[in-house]
Amino acid sequence: MRWKLTCRDAGDGSGDAILDLPDDLLQAAGWTEGDTLELEPDPDCSTIRLKKVVRCDVCDASTTEMGHGVLQAQWRDGEPERMQLCRSCFGYAMATLKRAHWVNHMFDDDPDSGQED
């Protein structure tokens, strides 16, 4: 996806630039107000790449390079809950849940039903 956008001076003497992101770009990229974006200039400096920065809700690590996992609930009688996790924290959550499953099923008749894989 490519868009041609124009930076405008922030007008506060800082030398900062403001880049207005059009709605069709936000929609196509899945970005919303409040997201943190990272600029990555291409080597020839003719274009810049924008990437959404997601921080792990547990350890605050950036998940830009590796991606992130999502733990999400949509309760019928309450607020939705959501956590974005780095690979390490997501792995910990998954291992903890698999261990709980194993403990809950360790005395089941079927010896294979509760084993971790």
Q: Which is nearer to Zn ion, 50 or 62 (CB)?
A: 62
Contact flag: residue 56 with Zn ion (CB under 5 A): yes
**Angle at the Cα of 108 (from 105 to 109), degrees rounded to 5?**
160
In the shown chain, the binding pattern of residues 77 to 106 toward Zn ion, with x for contact by CB under 5 A and - for none, equals ---------x--x-----------------
Evaluate whether 89 touches 77 at the Cβ level (below 8 Å): no
Binding residues for Zn ion, total number by CB under 5 A: 6
In whole angstroms, give the CA distance from residue 112 to residue 83: 31
In whole angstroms, give the CA distance from residue 68 to residue 53: 10
**Minimum CB distance to Zn ion, residue 4 (Å):** 36
Q: Which of 58, 71, 83, 93 binds Zn ion (CB under 5 A)?
A: 58
